[in-house]
Copies of this chain bind each other. A is one copy, B any other.
Amino acid sequence: MNGLRDLTESALRDIVPVHWRVPSRLNEAIRYSLDAGGKRLRPILALAAAESVSGEEEARQRALPFAAAIEMIHTYSLIHDDLPAMDNDDYRRGRPTNHKVFGEAMAILAGDGLLTHAFYVASLAAGKGVPAERVLAVVSELSRFAGLPGMVGGQADDMLGEQGITSMEELENIHLHKTSDLIACSLRAGGHAAEATPDQLAALELFGRNIGLAFQIQDDILDLIGDETKLGKPLNSDEKQGKVTYPYLIGLEESRERVRSLTNEAVRAIRQAGLQRTDLLTDIADVMMRRDH
């Protein structure tokens, strides 16, 4: 996983062509959030998916523009989610949020800029040997999974329903769109880079959907019983913010069981998909299930 992470970091370092004139304050705001040191889960999954389909390490390079684009979309969503009108968060990963440092207006523009530029970066895959039709498929899927029926829609549902989520079904529906959709999209994007078959794409998507949901439940669990130092935030913040969580709805033990069963389903899906290798993705699923931050 470290090799994939390093590759992602290097790709994210020069996403803006050097000859472009971009206002320096806007650039700083974007870099501040891109360099905040997330887990890089989505790009790592995109690269691992490409390598799993093709069996060749070279496939990583072809998937790299997609991986960077998805991390940019993830980052924009965090910047906008933290805004005062949205979740109104002052801190993320132990650092002041984007609007606390650069002001609300610049944070809105940094998010808009990252989202827009993600499509520029994704389109660069055509220059790395990915057929134009596949690049276009990824553009279309990115805009769907990150868009109105996906991440943006999930965020709207979350906000609209904040007071009244009472069932697992409602909660799961929100997380499926808010979190899992973009993760599922990462895996499909990696698959497209390695010219996966429709069946393989479907298996990768299912893997993504399941570990995306497991990831969210694990987050809820860690908020209750994690280590504050490792998490970089105080425990029980969900409860303080009145958030409805999995442990709140079904209890801690059943939440843990759900993480395990979702992870197992995810692994089963890709084992039956005729990939060249499955160890990369199963390792990532395993690390995610056991993570403590």
**Residues on A facing B (Cβ under 8 Å):** 16, 20-23, 25-27, 30, 76, 80, 83, 85-86, 103-106, 108-109, 111-113, 115-120, 123-124, 126, 131-133, 135-136, 139-140, 142-144, 146-149, 152-153, 155-157, 159-160
Additional pairs, 4, CB under 8 Å, beyond known A106-B156, A132-B136 = A105-B159, A106-B159, A119-B143, A120-B147
Q: Tell me the smallest distance from the CB of A72 to a CB of chain B, in Å.
A: 11
**Contact call B113/A85, Cβ cutoff below 8 A:** no
**A273: shortest Cβ distance to chain B, in Å?**
26
Which of chain B's residues has its CB closest to A99's CB?
B85
Decide if A104 touches B132 in the complex (CB within 8 Å). no
Nearest CB in chain B: distance from A27 CB, A: 8
Asked if A115 and B115 sit within 8 Å, CB to CB, the answer is yes
Separation of A146 and B83 alpha carbons in the complex (Å): 22
CB distance from A209 to the nearest CB of B (A): 16
What are the residues of chain B within 8 A of A131 when measuring CB–CB?
132
Report the Cα distance A116→B141, complex, angstroms.
11
Q: Give chain B residues whose Cβ lies under 8 Å from the Cβ of A117.
A: 143, 147-148
B120 and A108 form a contact (CB under 8 A): no
With A83-B108, A85-B105, A105-B86 in contact, do A139 and B123 touch (Cβ < 8 Å)? yes
CB-contact partner of A111 in B25, B112, B143, under 8 A:
B112
Q: Which residues of chain B are near A118, meaning CB under 8 Å?
A: 143
Q: Is the interface of A mostly helix, strand, loop or mixed?
A: helix
Give the CA-CA distance A25 to B157 in the complex, in Å: 9
Residues of chain B within 8 A (CB-CB) of A160 are 23, 25
What are 27 A-to-B residue pairs whose CB atoms are below 8 Å? Answer: A20-B149, A21-B153, A22-B153, A23-B156, A23-B157, A25-B160, A26-B152, A27-B148, A30-B148, A80-B112, A83-B108, A85-B103, A85-B108, A108-B108, A111-B112, A112-B115, A112-B152, A113-B156, A117-B143, A117-B148, A118-B143, A119-B140, A120-B144, A123-B136, A126-B133, A132-B136, A136-B139
Q: Which of B109, B132, B143 is in CB contact (< 8 Å) with A152?
A: B109
Q: Which 4 A-B pairs have the closest CB atoms?
A: A85-B104, A120-B143, A116-B147, A132-B132
B120 and A140 form a contact (CB under 8 A): yes
Task: Tell me whether A80 and B106 are in contact in the complex, defined as CB-CB below 8 angstroms, given that A132-B136, A156-B23 are known contacts.
Answer: no
**In the complex the two chains form, what is the Cα distance from A139 to B41 in whole Å?**
26
Residues of B within 8 A of A147 (CB): 113, 116-117, 120
- CB nearest neighbor in B for A147: B116
CB distance from A206 to the nearest CB of B (A): 19
Residues of B contacting A22 in the complex (Cβ-Cβ under 8 angstroms): 148-149, 153
Given A85-B104, A148-B116: A109 and B155 interface contact (C-beta under 8 Å): yes
Q: Is the beta-carbon distance between A153 and B80 smaller than 8 angstroms?
A: no
